Amino acid sequence: MFQKLTIHDVDVSDKRVLVRADYNVPIKDGEIQDDYRITQSLPTLRSLLSRGAKVIVCSHLGRPDGRAKPEFSLFPVAKRLDELLEGTTVSFVDEAVGSKSDAAVEKLQPGELLLLENVRFYPGEEANDDEFAAQLSHGADVFVQDGFGVVHRAHASTDAVTRHVHVSAAGELLEREVSTITRVMEAPERPLMAIVGGAKISDKIEVLERFIDIADIVAVGGAMANTFLLAEGHDVAKSLVEHDDVPLARRIMEKARETAKVRPFVFFLPQDGVVANKVDKNVQTRIVDWSAHVISSIENYPKRPPREASVMQEDEMILDIGPFSAAFVAGSIQLSKTVIWNGTMGVAETESLLGSVGPFAHGTDVIVQAMLGEFGNKPFTVVGGGDTVSYIEGQKLGQAFGHVSTGGGASLELMSGRPLPGVTALTDKEGVQ
């Protein structure tokens, strides 16, 4: 059960409500490329506006390093909110604190929304500065945290600001994110499967170790798998590898082996891969079958596979899991009731010459099909990680999954069992009479 106050526990009628949203969205030439995080904030905003709140919204965008930079302005977000919140007066002010923003807040009427400029235009934001937080609060009666993607940071708009309002509550998005992720980590329907990709093991060491503790199967893909393969003694040629993470990989695999001795548990590394000599949509690819030898045996039947079918050339790199590995992961999904997925299986962002699936995204596409129930079983799915979410949103599949998280780092921290400063700072349910 969620232990913090939510917007439904608080009277907001005619109250000044400051909402921390996460509108860190991709913008190119002033146009928003993906509005997923904006649309996910709408239920909270609509609830507050319909109940007569005067809504002030703050957010960050990018990393402007404490200085105002036009390319990081939230003005395009204000335009999109105006389109999405039809019938609501949406205004924008080109500062987060100061006389102009103070005046704009004073003019705000019940049922209207004001979006402040990027809070990271001010050094006080990332410094968690109390004076900046006091100004940012704009005399609000209620603070609402709904930016799940930033609650793992103790910044002025996630932490210090709560000391300058009477009540701090969670928005609908934040409550749903925390409750869903906590439930699948603490009381999942089993079997529980975790699929982990990405580049650096060190970025996901804690969540990998926790998955070994709680999951029934852990499957690793993406560039991270290359480091595991190297640690196991495989030649990965020019593949992206984090050499400093090799000791971590050995430690994780040793923990996995020990876990498998005491209970049914599988830690799966790719047995084959799609390789090429460069990352390019026009490049010729081939399958290297370094462990399973299933695909190469089929391709060369009735002859024995040649040596090069299981050996990478010096100038080659692994860019996706191979068809045997993808089939194994998809088969494991068929046996699972809960699947947590963080990180694509290959260089999924490379565009395709033909069709919607890129040359290094076939492994990712197969496991997506499995999670969506195209092979029979459809488990409850939780998806996190920026590249993973971007991929499924690019395929227009976001609504097909059980839960698609808006926070990469925050979801990893929560899965790891770490406290989230932006949630800890909110008012406890039992703390208000």
Q: Which amino acid is at 363?
A: G
Decide if 223 contacts 240 (C-beta within 8 A). Answer: yes
Q: Cα–Cα distances in Å, from 372 out to 249, 303, 331, 379, 388?
A: 30, 37, 13, 8, 15
Report how far residue 252's alpha carbon sits from residue 334's, in angstroms, rounded to the nearest whole number. 25
Cβ-proximal residues to 206 (8 Å cutoff; 6+ apart), any chain: 412, 416, 417, 418
Decide if 35 contacts 406 (C-beta within 8 A). Answer: no
- Crossing angle of helices 75-84/36-50, nearest 10°? 60
140: nearest Cα among 256, 299, 20, 244: 20
Report how far residue 190's alpha carbon sits from residue 107's, in angstroms, rounded to the nearest whole number. 53
Cis peptide before 191 (omega within 30 of 0): yes
Catalytic residue among 62, 111, 139, 409: 409
- 60 in the Ramachandran plot: left (φ > 0), alpha (ψ -120 to 50) or beta? beta
Report how far residue 193's alpha carbon sits from residue 13's, in angstroms, rounded to the nearest whole number. 44
Decide if 213 contacts 186 (C-beta within 8 A). Answer: no
Active site residue 200: yes
Residue 26 has which token pair? 């991709």
Coil, strand or helix at 86? coil
Decide if 113 contacts 91 (C-beta within 8 A). Answer: yes
385: nearest Cα among 408, 410, 406: 408
Beta carbons within 10 angstroms of residue 61's beta carbon: 23
Chain length of the chain: 433
Catalytic residue among 322, 363, 386, 408: 386
Q: DSSP characters for 221-289?
A: -HHHHHHHHHHTT---TTS---GGGHHHHHHHHHHHHHHHHHS--EEE--S-EEEESS--TTS--EEE-
Catalytic residue among 46, 69, 183, 200: 200
Report how far residue 100's alpha carbon sits from residue 34's, in angstroms, rounded to the nearest whole number. 30
Active site residue 197: no
Give backbone dihedrals phi and psi of 411, rounded to 5 degrees, phi first.
-65, -40
Catalytic residue among 37, 51, 153, 176: 37
Any idea which residues carry the catalytic annotation? 37, 200, 386, 409
